[in-house]
Structure formats: structure tokens, C-alpha cells
Amino acid sequence: MLSNNIDKYYVISSMAIVFLLLQFVACTKSKNEITIASNENIASLGKRLFLDATLSNPSGQSCASCHAAQTGFTDPLHNIVSPGITSGLFGNRNAPTIAYTIYVPKLQYSTSDSSYIGGLFLDGRVNSLEDQAQKPFLNPLEMGNVDAAMVISKLRQSPNYDYYKSIYGEVTDVNTAFSNIAAAIAAFERTDEVNPCTSKFDYYLNGKAPLTASELNGMRLFSDTTRAMCANCHLLTPDAKSGKILFTDFSYANDGVPKNEYNPFYHIPTSFNPLGGNYIDPGLGAIINDSDFYGTFRTPTLRNVALTAPYFHNGVFGTLEQVVHFYNTRDVPGSGFATAEYTPTIDHLETGNQHLTEQEEADIVAFMKTLTDGYQP
């Protein structure tokens, strides 16, 4: 409170000075700061749209219905494949994480790997988060809108429309508005919130948390190039571009994953899946139209993998223990694993018979469990 002793003139003139100073600060705010501020707004709009369940047809499904933060941005109910908003419809693949997808390069042939790398979706068919973010809205097996105009008419009714308008203004053109939605969602997908690198493993690297003997042994085995060989594809070294350890070289491989008999995709109407139970997921091969790559999928990151069961493109395994046991013994006679969905392109050199003991399998699992973000030391 102001003391009565203070001269009124003094108060008024100092308020004027503060006001002028504030004006000065506002005017000299650098262009960069202004861009950063609006990028933040765009990303926060993106987050709201990512969570907005009024944008599907009928309403009730958002991106987060299949990519929820609490399950490492995958299906919160751990479905083999997530149900679409239209009852009885399902996609063909297990919902992957959206975390760390900002680092996925464009689909390209890498001469150093003699293989393809990159591209979004498990088969690399889309090259940017912006292009990707439009697809689920219009996918009849997902959010079910008929066209962009339908999405935008829902946007106009959405509780987030005011916030949208505060950034992009009133919608005048459907395609521009649809691109804006995708750009905002992509901006959210690029935030630290989605890509935090705050796992126990990261703390360990910074000298801020110790790993147990089992976790350390798991890490050693993981990058052992003579037996487990996991790091041949799930790199344990920093990605050249981002400098982050992402547990993927973005390459494609066929891990010989067995068909998942319980995949509800086999039973959706034949207008969506003409092959029914005989469907085989062609992966990258269909995108580049090359049978040498049938049945190959992009190597996923393993960050947050403890939260993202079930595993592989068809969700065939429910636990990490099963996954590692599968890698270790797939090709060992009598191991009991069903035959692969697609056999000709299986990588038998790096996977399938790793000569790991039971304890070593357990150690590799223990190591993968250190990759969950949000670790509290």
C-alpha cells in the first residue's frame, strides 16, 4: 500500500516512466522472441487438437485415443490394433509411439547401409509430420471423416475453435485450415514434452543415477555385436543429426514376426480387407514396389518401450520378456514360435539365434526398462 507521505506527483510520474519502459520493451522485443512466443502458442493449440475428441466422425476419438502420453504415446488400452471410431472397424497395425518421430528422416536409400531408412508410418509412406497428421482424420478405419471440409466444420464447433482463431483467424479456406491443424499438431509433436529424454538411462549418462548390475549387463549385451546385436539396428550411439540416442538407425528389417491370429483386422468387412485372414502385411515392400523389402518395417525407437505393449507391427507379443526370448530363439529348432508372417526376407544374420542365457535375456529386458521417460532419481 502507498504511504500517504508519498507525493502524488512522484507516483504518477514514476508510473509514467514504468509505462514508457514497458512500451520500449514491447517494441524492442526481437523478432526471434516474437516467433518463439507464437510457436509456443501453435504447439499448445496442437496439443489441444491432439486431445480433441470432437474432430472425429462421429465424435469421440482423438489422436490421443491411440497415442496417449501415459502409455508412451501409444494405445492407452494396449489394444493389438486400436478400434476406429466406427464400431467394428480396425486398422491393420499396432499403434506406434509418436514420441521421437521428429527425428525420423525422409524415406531414402542409404548407400552406406545398402538399405532404405526413414519415412513415417511403419512402412515409411509419409515424409513429414505435417503430412502425417492429416491422414488419421480422413482414415475410415480411424477418425472417419469423409473429407477435409467435414473436419473443418467440426473444428468450427470445437471448444478449441476460439483458440484456433486467436492464432490463425477465422477459417476462410478449408484446405488452409486443414493444413493449419496439421502444422499445429506437428508443432506439438516437436516439443520437449513429447521428446523429453528423461529416462533413468539419460540420468545414468549424465552421471546422475546408477544402473543396477543387471541393467548394466543388459546394456553391454544389447550392443554386443557378436551375440545379442540389438544395437546393430537399435543404435546405442548418438544419432548423427540430432546428437540424441534414439535406439534406432531408421533402417528396415523383417524380424520374422509370427502372424497374430488375434488381430481383429482379419475380421473387418472385405471392402476394407479383401484378403480377410489371409492378409499379409507387406510393410515397406508395397510402398517402394520391391519384393526384396516385403515384410520389412522401420526399426522403432525403444524409448518408453516398457509402457507400449503389445509389441511389433501386429502386436503379437504382450511382454518384453517374450520379445527378447523370440529374438534369441526364433530359429532354434523346437523353440515353438509360429512361422513368420512373411518368410523370404527374414534377417537370419542378426536375429533369431543369439545364444543368450535366461539371465542374459532378463538383463536385456531390465536395460530396456531403464528407457522410460519421467524418471525421478
Cα 171 off chain centre by: 29
Interactions with ligand HEC, residue window 178-217 (CB under 6 A): 185
Cα-Cα-Cα-Cα dihedral sign, residues 214, 215, 216, 219: positive
Q: Environment class of residue 216 by beta-carbon count within 10 Å: exposed (0-12), middle (13-18) or buried (19+)?
A: middle
Q: Which stretch binds ligand HEC (CB under 6 A): 57-65, 157-165, 171-179, 193-201?
A: 57-65
121 forms part of the interface with ligand HEC (CB under 6 A): yes
Q: Is residue 268 a contact residue for ligand HEC (CB under 6 A)?
A: no
Whichever of 164 and 327 has its CB closer to ligand HEC, that residue is: 327
316 binds ligand HEC (CB under 6 A): no
Contact 46, 189 (CB under 8 A): yes
d(CA 67, CA 132): 14
- In 352-374, which positions are buried (b, 16+ CB within 10 angstroms) versus exposed (e)? bebebeeebbbbbbbbbbbbbbe
Nearest approach, Cβ of residue 16 and ligand HEC (Å): 49
Query: Could you say whether residue 299 binds ligand HEC (CB under 6 A)?
Result: yes
Residue from 179, 258, 350, 375 binding ligand HEC (CB under 6 A): 350
Q: In the bound complex, what is the minimum distance in angstroms from residue 83's beta carbon to ligand HEC?
A: 7
User: How far is residue 93's CA from residue 121's CA, in Å, rounded to a whole number?
Assistant: 10
Nearest CB to ligand HEC, comparing residues 202 and 363: 363
User: How is residue 14 written as a grid cell?
Assistant: 514514476
- The HSE-up count of residue 111 (CA atoms within 13 Å, CB side) is 0
Give me 365's grid cell: 529386458
CA atoms within 13 A on the CB side of 221: 25
Contact flag: residue 263 with ligand HEC (CB under 6 A)? no
Of the residues 43, 66, 245, 246, which one makes contact with ligand HEC according to CB under 6 A: 66
**Considering beta carbons, is residue 32 or 226 the nearer one to ligand HEC?**
226
Q: Choose which of 45, 117, 120, 307 interacts with ligand HEC (CB under 6 A).
A: 120
Nearest to 103 by CA among 301, 254, 297, 283: 301
Residues making contact with ligand HEC (CB under 6 A): 61, 63, 65-67, 82, 84, 91, 93, 95-96, 98, 101, 120-123, 129, 132-133, 136-137, 142-143, 185, 228-230, 232-234, 253, 255, 257, 297, 299-300, 302, 305, 308, 311-313, 320, 323-324, 327, 347, 350-351, 354, 364
